[in-house]
Structure formats: C-alpha cells, structure tokens
Structure 1
Amino acid sequence: MSTPESSAAPGSRLPVYYISHGGGPWPWMPERDTAYRELAASLARMPAEVGRDPRAILMVSAHWEAPEFTVQRAARPGMVYDYGGFPAYTYAVQYPSAGDPALADRVSVLLRAAGLAVAQDDERGYDHGMFSPMQAMYPDARVPVVQLSLKRGLDPQAHLVLGQALAPLRDEDVLIVGSGLSYHNLRAFGPPGHAASQAFDAWLSEAVQQPQAERDARLRAWTDAPAARLAHPREEHLLPLMVAAGAAGADVGRHSYHQRDFMGGLTVSSYRFG
C-alpha cells in the first residue's frame, strides 16, 4: 500500500479522491472490524492527508442515479438505507452531517456553464455510499457534505466532463470524492472474484498513473480492460472514478488504499489525485 507524500497547505488546491466504500453500513458493525480494518484505516487517514478540514465535501456516490446530474440541496439531509439483509439496528444509524445549499447552487452554476443539464433535489438524504465512508473519515460529522448523482446511461465520457466542470471547486476549499468500489460483482464476491479483481485492478491502477490524455482515453474504453465485465457487470461503482479523474486534470493518480485479500480474496483500491 502506498500513501500520498504530502498534505495540503492552507489555501492550496485540494486533492481529489476515488474511494472504495465497502458494503452497506459496515462502520456500525463491530463484528466486521477485521474484514474492513485496512479500508477503515485508509479512510481515517484522509483528513491528515488533506491537511485541513475542507469547507465542504462534494460526494459522488455509486448509489444515486438520476435522469440528469442532480445535486442534493437539503440543509440537513436525512438518511437513505439503501441496503438489505443487515441487522435491524443498522436501519436506524445516523450520520448527522450538515448539507450546504450554497455549494449545491455553486455546483449547478458550474455544470450549466459547462453546458451540462443539472437538477436540484431538496428532499433526498444521504445513501450508504456517502455515510459509511464518512463515518470512518469524519466520525464527528464536522464537515458539511453535498451529494451529486450519476447520470443514467452511465456514459464514461459524460462523467469525465462532469469532473472537468467541477474542477474549480478544488481551489474553493471543496474536497471532491468519488465513492464506489473498484471491484463490484456481487455474484462473484470473495474468493470467486480473486482472479478477475486482480486482473482488473492491475489495469486500473496503471491507467490512473498515466498522463491525463492517456488516462482519460483508457478510462473511456474501460470495457476493453482485462476482466472488465467480470469486475463490473454494471459500471455504477466505477463511474465515480471518471468524475474524480475529470476533476484531477493533469494530476496523476496514486493509491491511497490497496488490498489484495479484501473479503476473502478480492483486490480493491482507492486513488488520490494531487
């Protein structure tokens, strides 16, 4: 596992992350501590890596798709328990972060300026692609968070363009985080996914380290990668990486988390740009 070399100084441009967020409400399940120990540690390191609390986090989660890019505008978003089969108490957990309507408006302005259609949602709460990693990153919920949806159709180029439109936020003290999972085939999880996850992860980790033009070209053509559709039968957990890469610009990706035995044999990664 590699760790980013430096932290951000006050007033400097913030990095961009793509994180593997794990399954369901795992931070509230102590019986899963061993399985998630390395992922939890990598998420807990992020505030120190960034070097300061951002004024807000913009989170693009795999678990929200909408007809157009849609930004959450509630001042106090509720909770969306978008998982099944977990203990009853996990359907009452809370992550009481504040929203940021002003940031939602700023995101809308940036997207419209880039020629992208955008909607706002005053009602939608936080899904587990947001609240599970945020519980590990900021357990006191001290940083406001706004979620931004994927766009149905899951076109890689559209999400790269979305990230490019969001890039100015890095200079406005907003931390952009794409939240997915670098391997997401629930029919071949654990040991059955060992070979496919290893092959796809090797390709993905090499791709994000390329210069911008080559990196983006590879990500647009991600289905040509080894074991691509075995790793992602449906690509919603990969598309947040496209947003992060778009916002990264010329910044090269590096591992912020890398594990070869996740959930009994999967190779999974998270990346930091900048």
Structure 2
Amino acid sequence: MKGTPMTLPTYFLSHGGGPWPFMMDQVGHLYAKLDASLRDIPRQIGVTPKALLVITAHWEGRDFMLSSSPKPPMIYDYGGFPPHTYEVQYAAPGSPQLAAQVKDLLEAGGHTAVLDDQRGFDHGTFSALYPIYPNADVPVVQLSLRYGLDPKEHLEIGRLLAPLRDQGVLIIGSGLSFHNLRAFNAAGASASHAFDAWLQQTMALPPQERAAQLMQWEQAPAARMAHPREEHLLPLMVVLGAAEQEAAAMPYHEDAFMGGLAVSSFRFG
C-alpha cells in the first residue's frame, strides 16, 4: 500500500550479529524468529514509508552525524565471516533532503548536527533492513549516537524527531537489548534474562514513569553485564523519545538466542 496518511510507529530492533541475513544457509536456524519478525514489519505498519531514519549503534561522533550521500556505500564492520559477506550490497538510496531536515530539527532544539556525505551503511543498518525491505527501494538516512552516550540527551533528540512520524518517515533504532560480546553465549544467559525482564516491565509503565526508569537503566538488574558499554541500548532512548506517549509492544523476543540469551525488540505506537 503506497502513501502514509498516518502517524508511523517507531521501532527498536535487536539487529542480530554481523551479516546474518546473507548467511541464512549457515545460520538460518539461529535467526529464523528474528528474520520472521523483521519481515512482518511492512504488514504491521501497513504503508510504505517515504524514508527510513536509522539510529545506528555502530556510529558515534562528537556531534550527531547524519549520512547525506544520495548513494551511500557499504561498511563491512565485522570480521571472520565468509568472503561473500564482504561483497554484499544493500543499494537503498540515501536522502540528502531528509538528512538536512533532521539536522535542522536537531539544531533547532539546541543540538549540533553534521552532515556526512561519505558515510556508508554499517551492518547494524543493512542487516536489519534487508529482511524488512529486501528490494532496497526505500531511502535511508543514518543518524549517529553522540560521544558520552548520555541517555537523557538521546531521549531529547528523539522528541525533536517526533514530527517526522507524521511525514511518512519510519524511525528505527538499531541495536541489541543484550550486548556483551564476552558473554554472547550461555555465560550471559542469566544476566540477559534479568535485564530483559526489567526492560519488558519498564516498557509497560505509564509514559512518564517509563522514560524516568529508562534514564536510570544502570540501576536495572545485571545492567552492566548486559551492556558493558551502552551504545547498543541508546537507540532505544531515541525511538522512545520520538513516540514518548505511545504504548509499547514487543514484536520480537527470544529466550534462548545464541546459547540461552534473552533478546527483544520493541515498537512504540
């Protein structure tokens, strides 16, 4: 269905590991549930977005950075995968116009934003988007995190981005609800379940209380075991800010991912 006569939801996606959608012959059994949840997003929103704004855990800057190339290249920011995964292409166009609009929105709210016409799609972007829009026919702009990883600041920029939802822009935060690479196996199972249970409880709270709890995420059970460094959690702050008064849903959850990890994705609106 074309056109977007509605306010679009926002998503926080647990994007999986490396270039998994391009290795389904080898790892499909591990990613079948995530793959199905991502492929279902077009049905959930019911319209084709005019563009996608992806807040990616794999890009940080002194200022908020925006990819502004009309034809973004690829960034193969992983190691040890089969040779063909360093040749995959996700040839979605960029949108210099959307990048400039986001820059204006952020700067109007007192945040510095910078356009980067060289930045390519990292795996947190193209691995998450390929199952959703495999034809790569929806324009994509990436937005970075900012050094310091201040949750309040990232919630605030999400609030500034909220008007885009009425303009046909689908806002996606690409990260992981559990991201401790030293315990990305059964060793992290207990911590991941404790933190995921807290996340689910927090997402079910009334809006003001939900945001306040999320700003105190380091006090959650097993918080620093789940996120020794919080860059994969911060995209959640942004997409929540952009739909702060909306109810949350959980379109993806697994209890036994990669040896027993609990991981989840959330939709707002």
**TM surpasses 0.5:** yes
TM-score (norm 2): 0.98
CA distance in 2, matches of 1:207, 1:69: 27
Report the AA paired with residue 16 of structure 1.
T
CA contact (8 A) 2:252 2:264 kept: yes
Does residue 176 (structure 1) correspond to residue 168 (structure 2)? The answer is: no
CA contact (8 A) 1:15 1:175 kept: yes
CA contact (8 A) 1:8 1:14 kept: no
- The SS at the match of 2:11 is strand
Does residue 98 (structure 1) correspond to residue 93 (structure 2)? The answer is: yes
Does residue 188 (structure 1) correspond to residue 183 (structure 2)? The answer is: yes
2:33 aligned to which of 18, 27, 38? 38
CA contact (8 A) 1:21 1:129 kept: yes
Q: 1:194-244 deviations in whole A, cap 9, x for unaligned?
A: 110000000011111212211111111100000000000000000000001
Does residue 157 (structure 1) correspond to residue 152 (structure 2)? The answer is: yes
Structure 1 residues 264 and 213: alpha-carbon distance in aligned structure 2, compared to 1, 3 A threshold: same
- Cα offset for 1:9? 8.8
Report the AA paired with residue 68 of structure 1.
D
- Cα offset for 1:175? 0.2
CA contact (8 A) 1:54 1:143 kept: yes
Which residue of structure 1 aligns with residue 49 of structure 2? 54
Q: 1:154-187 deviations in whole A, cap 9, x for unaligned?
A: 0100100010010000001000000000000011
Report the AA paired with residue 217 of structure 1.
A
Please provide the CA RMSD for this pair. 1.3
CA distance in 1, matches of 2:157, 2:19: 28
- The number of equivalent residue pairs is 268
CA distance in 2, matches of 1:136, 1:10: 21
**Structure 2 unmatched runs, 5+:** none
Does residue 25 (structure 1) correspond to residue 19 (structure 2)? The answer is: yes
Does residue 265 (structure 1) correspond to residue 260 (structure 2)? The answer is: yes
CA distance in 1, matches of 2:180, 2:48: 34
Identity of aligned residues (%): 54
CA distance in 1, matches of 2:172, 2:241: 12
- Cα offset for 1:254? 1.2
Which residue of structure 2 aligns with residue 138 of structure 1? 133
Report the AA paired with residue 181 of structure 1.
L
Report the AA paired with residue 231 of structure 1.
A
- The SS at the match of 1:96 is coil
2:231 aligned to which of 219, 228, 236? 236
2:6 aligned to which of 9, 12, 18? 12
CA distance in 1, matches of 2:8, 2:226: 30
